[in-house]
Amino acid sequence: MRAGAAFELGLLIAGGLAASLLIWFGIGWAESLLIALLPLLLRHAWNLFRLARLIRRQHRLVPPFPSGIWGDIYRAIGQYQQRGRKGRKRQLRFFRRFREAANSVPDALVVLDKNRCIEWANPAAQVLMDLHWPSDDGKPLSEVFEHPDLSNYIVAGEYGRPLEVAPAHNRSIMLSVRVAPFGERKKQRLVVGRDITKIFHLNLIRRDFVANASHELRTPLTVITGFLETLADSAQTPAGHRRPLNLMQHQAERMRSIIEDLLTLSRLEMDEEAVDIDKVDVPYELEQIVADASALSGGRHRFQIDIDTELMLLGKDSELRSAFSNILFNAVKHTPAGSQIQLSWSQTESGPVFKVTDDGPGIASKHIPRLTERFYRVDKARSRESGGTGLGLAIVKHVLSRHHARLVVASEPGQGAQFSCHFPPESALTATQIEHPTTNPA
């Protein structure tokens, strides 16, 4: 038994003996017990008062502690306070290190509350986004960083791709902005702005160079192709020269395809949004594309077609035709003879979906994230044999981006591959809507 508990027990025994003596001398038992326990009650009352005062004033409990049960209580509270102080010190040290690390990051970091108002920002946010903290604390981000694209981006909540914006206070720089939800119910936002000015300008230079070089190469290549055709068709051409001429024609045609794809890609990169948007008869376009794919296949593949003939799309027909044909032609080129290729065009809960599925060799997961890169090939030798330029899926990616759509690739080695284009619901139209457009009442 601890000393404090023994002391309390001794007081109770002494009080009991005193009460017995008082009763012996004729005082009532209740009064006798009250008189005997009065010192103990006063002691407890004093300790309760002291404890309440310490808690109210948040005083620090330090030894020596009184004896008895109250000493045990004070000692336990003191130990709890000591653990709390150590925990707070650790938290403060961690918070200081976090602040130092966040302040040293060259990217702009901005924390928004659930109402999209500024809670905190690092020093880089002042340089890149003209956001001053703490003076801008509590202000809506849309008021401090006035850019409608960023406001719409944050409200939309689709953060799969970064947003590129030029801040109003300094149009000479370009920012890549990403947003990450966090906190309770993911209502808060962490906005990260990265300076990509150098990369942006390098991409512009590269794009202009590719476009100019492709234009310059087109004319001499046309001349070379013309002479090759003349020589190949001439009766005076020796028989031994015809095979080399055919190979030269084949390579010239491949060069022409690469140049045309490069020009198409450069044209798509000029603008982020598709222009000349109109109602596209997707079922009709797909019929033509399937016919071309069947001719390319030469009867080596089985096609299963499922097209919603009533489902149309708002977009640019030439770009959509290019994207859809690239996906289907890739399936024909990279799927062995005898394989089945499925094509579907349908409306889903999330919007219109174009899908091509094959039962070919499939694609390893490490290749999938890079499929839309320029000139990236999973099997380089096989792609060259099939006449691929390595630009088809890069074109698909840019076409879909301009139509606010996305490409989803699902594949495993030996399990075939599925390429699907997911369009936003608002882009869908029906044949009835095209024939009888709705008009606003006057």
DSSP 8-state secondary structure symbol assigned to residue 281:
-
**376: in domain:** yes
Q: CA of 5: how far to CAs of 2, 39, 47, in Å?
A: 5, 16, 15
Calpha distance 120→182 (Å, rounded): 14
Calpha distance 429→317 (Å, rounded): 14
**438: in domain:** no
Q: Are residues 291 and 416 in the same domain?
A: yes
**72: in domain:** yes
* CATH number of the domain within which 221 lies: 1.10.287
Calpha distance 286→314 (Å, rounded): 15
* CATH number of the domain within which 344 lies: 3.30.565.10
Q: Are residues 241 and 314 in the same domain?
A: no
Q: Are residues 334 and 367 in the same domain?
A: yes
pLDDT at 351: 93
**332: in domain:** yes
Please compute, for residue 154, the number of CA atoms within 13 A of its CA located in the half-sphere on the CB side. Answer: 28
Calpha distance 354→324 (Å, rounded): 8
pLDDT lower than 70: segments of the chain: 1-41, 43-44, 50-68, 271-275, 380-388, 431-442
Q: Are residues 285 and 348 in the same domain?
A: yes
List, for residues 77-111, the tens digit of each pLDDT value.
777 777 877 888 888 888 888 888 888 899 999 99
Q: What is the DSSP string of 36-60?
A: HHHHHHHHHHHHHHHHHHHHHHTPP
8 Å CB contact between 245 and 239: no
**22: in domain:** yes
pLDDT at 439: 43
Q: Are residues 66 and 169 in the same domain?
A: no
**316: in domain:** yes
Domain boundary among 270, 302, 333: 270
Q: Are residues 240 and 337 in the same domain?
A: no
Q: Are residues 38 and 95 in the same domain?
A: yes
8 Å CB contact between 108 and 128: yes
pLDDT at 435: 56
DSSP 8-state secondary structure symbol assigned to residue 116:
S
* CATH number of the domain within which 164 lies: 3.30.450.20
Domain boundary among 221, 248, 270: 270
> In terms of DSSP bridges, do strands 188-195 and 278-280 run parallel, antiparallel, or are they unpaired?
unpaired
**440: in domain:** no
> In terms of DSSP bridges, do strands 340-348 and 302-307 run parallel, antiparallel, or are they unpaired?
parallel
Calpha distance 218→225 (Å, rounded): 10
Q: Are residues 209 and 189 in the same domain?
A: no
Q: Are residues 283 and 429 in the same domain?
A: yes
Domain count for the chain: 4
What separation, in Å, do the N-terminal and C-terminal C-alpha atoms of the chain show? 94
Q: Are residues 86 and 209 in the same domain?
A: no
> What are the structure tokens assigned to 73, written together?
């209580």
Q: Are residues 210 and 187 in the same domain?
A: no
Q: Are residues 286 and 397 in the same domain?
A: yes
pLDDT at 275: 63
pTM (2 d.p.):
0.59
Q: Is the dihedral of CA 435, 400, 392, 349 positive or negative?
A: negative
Name the residue range of residue 140's domain. Answer: 105-195
Domain boundary among 100, 134, 169: 100
**224: in domain:** yes
